[in-house]
Copies of this chain bind each other. A is one copy, B any other.
Amino acid sequence: MADNPVRRGWLGHLTRRSVLAGAVASAAFPAVAATTSAATASPRSAAVPGMRTAQATGTTRRVTIYAEALPGGLFGYGLAPGEATIPGPLLEIVEGDTLEIELVNTTNQRLSIHPHGVDYDVFSDGAPFNDSFNEPGETRTYVWRSRERSTGGGRVWLPGTAGYWHYHDHALGGDHGTQGLQKGLYGGLIVRRKGDLLPDKTFVVVFNDMTINNKMAPEAPMFDSNLGERVEWLCIGHGSMEHTFHLHAHRWADTRTGYLDGPNDLTQAVDNKDLNPGSSFGFQVIAGEGVGAGAWMYHCHVQFHSDGGMAGIFLVRNEDGSIPDHAQEAIDRYHAHHGGLGDHSGHAG
């Protein structure tokens, strides 16, 4: 990455990734983020000159995750004691990798971790239905496996595990983790395919009932980038409400990656996409491409939801990292407006 999200300090989420990166550098931690190690080594693909791509390793990676109580009745997952965040740490692997997750439950509630998209046996299901959860104070290991695409015979092929997935509690307060989800026990999971382009930054956006990452405007996350950076969005839906994710001034191909696989890939472009409970998708865009630096809204396009606070900012700085005046004004307007109650007709939140 050209910049250091820790120093910038906008995003708790990216701060978490930097912990992973640091872990790799110090070897204090098993590496779970393929992109991070790739970034360290700066591999470059001959097929895509100048772009970093995911590399297959086929290894087993171990990580310890701490489920913790947070202020305000919330809960979070974290990579170290006292560092839980909402959403939890972004987990990244490459098809063929295995993740062994040691989940430490530091809370007084039953809870678990349940992934989407990857392989797991019944003992790693994370569902009380399969007796797979952590009692209060208990530590338990969950194993998630991934695999490449494979022939199923003749022209039939079976899809691999690559995708923009997620993980979440499936046990707190009930059989389906409804309370755990409401209170923040969720996070992003990316399984890359060998050769996938690696982004400069990844943003995790969770539409969870009437919140974005359990926040509402003007506290909704602001995602930060420089003009021309390749930024990746991982969008996840949770809760019991319907949502549509809209990003201003940017669009993406409705493919697994968000880009097209060559000139013969005719998949349509979208800039608004359903994001309903349990679903997820991801895409990469070049920040500000064709539209310039600025503060761009991302929001749920269900009008009642955006009015109610499901709207945040995608900041595209100038290439040198400075903030255009109009962008700073927009940021200030966002905070003043959403922070001030009752000062504008038609605004519910």
Contacts and interface: CB of A to CB of B under 8 A. Distances in A.
6 contacts: A49-B153, A120-B249, A131-B329, A149-B263, A256-B269, A277-B301
A160 B326 contact: no
Contacts of A155: 47-48, 261-262
Contacts of A270: 163, 279
Contacts of A121: 249, 291-292, 294
A4 interface: no
A297 B176 CA distance: 10
B291 A120 contact: yes
A267 B174 contact: no
Contact of A173 (B178, B259, B267, B345): B345
A173 B347 CA distance: 7
Contact of A269 (B130, B159, B262, B279): B159
A255 interface: yes
B117 A240 contact: no
B240 A122 contact: no
Contacts of A157: 259-263, 265
Nearest to A278: B301
B269 A162 contact: yes
Interface in A33-69: 45, 47-51
Contact of A278 (B152, B272, B326): B272
Given A48-B154, A251-B159, A256-B268, A278 B175 contact: no
Classify chain A: how many residues form its interface, as a range: 35 or more
Contact of A330 (B122, B240, B304): B122
B119 A249 contact: yes
B122 A292 contact: yes
Interface string A122-158: 1101011111000000000000010101011111111
A17 interface: no
B158 A260 contact: yes
Q: Which 9 A-B pairs have the closest CB atoms?
A: A278-B301, A174-B346, A173-B346, A48-B154, A256-B268, A157-B260, A159-B269, A122-B294, A240-B304
Contacts of A160: 269
Interface stretch (A21-29, A83-91, A305-313): A305-313
